[in-house]
Amino acid sequence: MHLDEIHAWICVDDVELSEFALEYSADGMEASCWIPSECDKQFSIHWETTDSVAGQTLNAQVTVDGTRCGSNDMRCSDRTRPHIASGSRNSVATSAETRRPLLFAQQALTDDDNLLNAAISPELGSIRVDIREVRTAPSMRSHRQPPVWDGRFETQVLHERSKKAMGHSVQFGAEYRERNRQLEPAVVVRDLATFVFRYRPIELLRAQGIAPPVVRPQPGASSADHEVVDLTMDDDDDDKAAASEINKLETRLRELKKKDGKVKIKSEPSGVRQEKESVFAPGEVIDLT
């Protein structure tokens, strides 16, 4: 999705996901769409601006299913193009030195009626990216803290009759080691853009008419009808075919000459029925079929 010079998208297996039913707010500050989620697939969130200004710090805050997953500054990765700044996120910090990847997975359900009326975030089933301009707060640097895993990313279990039980939810893969930088205190100067990706299984998006149906091949003729026969021949083949045809014709002509005089046809004027007068040799059989 694009909002002016800012672009955000989601990838699975390094391939950008299709976006359906794009909508834009009246003030042009928010864009939303639907994307197809695939069970047990890790995904990454990306953002980019093509209008970065020297001295300006842009930041992206990611929220998944209503829970904040941290923020990253948008940085220039190519000094020859300083006006282009980008960032991405594919995991969440669980401690100062560990992380867990983001992935789509089967929604956890239960028949425990105690959870039938449990509070559910209205943002369940969505991934939100808020792009802001920020500035550092030097007076707060002494309060920098490493990210701490507090369990807030644990998957919520829903009752099987819940209206929010839509098939998939964002969950977290196996923990791996990676040193995380300390959080730099920052103050939001202004909001620039918001992107909301609502995810569902592709089958559900098709059933609801959000994604186009599968295009199935039209029933066609049998493979024999499509068989390609090579009728091309080289010069030698042409000569052989012509000689064979001549031999057949000469043989047929000789056979007809032998029968000459044995079968006579009487011609009548036009419009008069023709009759055949035949003379047969004793015991001879003539095939007139």
Give me the residue spans of the domains in the chain: 2-207, 236-278
For the chain, the first-to-last Cα distance in angstroms comes to: 78
The owner of tokens 């001879």 is 284
Average pLDDT of the residues of the chain = 77
Where is pLDDT greater, at 69 or 161?
A: 69
**Per-residue model confidence as pLDDT tens digits over 171-188:** 888 889 888 776 677 788
State phi, psi for 113 to the nearest 5 degrees: -65, -15
Q: Tell me what percent of the residues of the chain surpass a pLDDT of 90.
A: 31
**Per-residue model confidence as pLDDT tens digits over 219-260:** 765 555 555 545 554 555 666 677 777 778 778 777 777 766
Collapsing DSSP states into helix, strand and coil, what is residue 58? strand
Q: Give the residue ranges of DSSP H helices in 91-131.
A: none
pLDDT band at 31 (very low <50, low <70, confident <90, very high): very high
* pLDDT, mean of residues 148-172: 67
Where is pLDDT greater, at 85 or 232?
A: 85
In whole angstroms, how large is the CA radius of gyration of the chain? Answer: 40
pLDDT band at 151 (very low <50, low <70, confident <90, very high): low
Single-letter residue type at 90? N
**Spatial distance between the Cα atoms of 93 and 177, rounded to a whole number of angstroms:** 10
Q: Tell me what percent of the residues of the chain surpass a pLDDT of 70.
A: 71
* pLDDT, mean of residues 91-111: 84
Among the ranges given (60-74, 106-120, 271-285), the one the predictor scored with the smallest mean pLDDT: 271-285
The owner of tokens 């089967």 is 106
Copy the structure tokens of residue 226: 């499509």
Contact status, residue 102 vs residue 92, Cβ threshold 8 Å? yes
- Sequence-separated (6 or more) residues with CB below 8 Å from residue 33: 1, 19, 20, 21, 22, 23, 196, 197, 198
Q: Is the pLDDT of residue 113 over 90?
A: no
The Cα-based distances of 255 to 104, 118, 251, 262, 287 in angstroms read 84, 100, 6, 12, 13
Would you give the distance in Å from CA 89 to the centre of its chain? 22
* pLDDT, mean of residues 136-149: 57
Q: Is the pLDDT of residue 129 over 90?
A: yes
The confidence score (pLDDT) of residue 289 equals: 42
State phi, psi for 139 to the nearest 5 degrees: -70, -15
